[in-house]
Chain A
């Protein structure tokens, strides 16, 4: 273990070695990634049973990256709240943290248009880490899709209830 790595770990504190392992001599993460990793925005969960919450869960545990991104959407389709939990590398955590910030206040129709390249260029991700930004893009899309399915189902239930009420 190099001296620079040890120094880095001490500065980062809280015994989190995962970041330090990648941050060798020349291959350090960009400051923006470290910032999101150290101070992730919007970590947490929304109740996935709520009718106005969409949950996107993407990634593969075997590959080491799992990302959960949730959105709460008002009647006009605007995202009022977003939370994430990510298990993975620093870039995956930073990508999903940034994604929650980006989608807040957005309409879902615009949120699904967010491209991985926007996330990657904002975080200055190196080539091998572009996949992390793609995972974040997928997570947003999956969350919106989940909400749409939920709403379609509840519309159907309402229609059925109405039909029953009419026959009764």
Chain B
């Protein structure tokens, strides 16, 4: 997969031509890399690899900072974020009623606020080295790791995951989220 992501975020006309020419090579990487599709057979494609999608994938989804981030290192960063979020929310659970529930399991953090406030889900999305947030207030969002800032940032508008959660949870139920991870002085 690393070979595919190297191209980076900004695709110029030259880049597009390059991608077109390299499509065959990418297909080989994808098949050779053993990436399998596990979410089922969809209408239309019937399990075949939709070949053109790679071009769009490269054009939109890749962040150069994640280019050669190993799965192990990604997961350890993601997991420490999720654990830290879990712990900072859990210690404030007295601000919520009996329906409140929080669970961190297999790289998925689920926070059920109760009182009709809905649920937050943050899950690790290993293939593209992202964290995905589902918020009852603002809907879905994807976050990539900014190595320089050492923060998860929105793939849409570069806003910060922690700021977003802090803003929404403070407003919904008075729970605050530290804007930096504990033990991270940088």
Is B186's beta carbon under 8 Å from chain A? no
> Are the CB atoms of A85 and B41 closer together than 8 Å?
no
Question: Can you name the residue of chain A whose Cβ is closest to the Cβ of B40?
Answer: A18
Chain A residues near B39 (CB-CB < 8 A): 18, 64-65, 88-89, 92
Is the beta-carbon distance between A87 and B50 smaller than 8 angstroms? yes
Residues of A within 8 A of B42 (CB): 85-88, 92-93
Which chain B residues lie closer than 8 Å to A18 at the CB level?
39-41
Contact of B53 among A16, A61, A89, A130 (CB under 8 A): A61
How many interface residues does A have (CB within 8 Å)? Answer: 41
A61 and B44 in contact (CB under 8 A), knowing A127-B121, A131-B140, A134-B139? no
- On whether the beta carbons of B139 and A116 are closer than 8 Å, the reply is yes
Residues in chain A near residue B47, CB distance under 8 A: 87
Q: Let me know if A111 is at the binding interface, CB within 8 A.
A: no
A8 located at the interface, meaning its Cβ lies under 8 Å from any Cβ of chain B in the complex: no
Docked-complex contact B54 and A128, CB < 8 angstroms? no
Residues of B within 8 A of A68 (CB): 50, 53
* Known contacts A61-B54, A66-B53, A89-B39; A130/B139 CB under 8 A: yes
Complex-state Cα separation, A140 to B159, whole angstroms: 24
Q: Decide if A66 touches B140 in the complex (CB within 8 Å).
A: no
Chain B stretch 149-163: residues in CB contact (< 8 A) with chain A = none
Taking A57-B53, A88-B40 as known contacts, 15 extra A-B pairs with beta carbons closer than 8 A to each other, sorted by chain A number, are: A57-B56, A58-B56, A61-B50, A62-B1, A63-B128, A68-B53, A85-B44, A86-B43, A87-B37, A116-B140, A120-B139, A127-B120, A127-B136, A130-B140, A133-B140
* Residues 29-73 of B at the A interface (beta carbon under 8 Å): 30, 35, 37-45, 47, 49-50, 52-57, 60-61
CB A52 to nearest CB in B, in angstroms, measures 20
- A130 CA / B122 CA spacing, docked (Å): 12
Please name the 7 residue pairs, one residue from A and one from B, whose CB atoms are nearest each other, closest first: A18-B40, A85-B44, A62-B127, A64-B39, A130-B140, A87-B42, A87-B45
How distant is the Cα of A40 from the Cα of B38 in the complex, in angstroms? Answer: 20
Name the interface residues of B115-142: CB closer than 8 Å to any CB of A: 118-121, 123, 125, 127-128, 132, 134, 136, 139-140, 142
* Docked CA distance A110–B134 (Å): 25
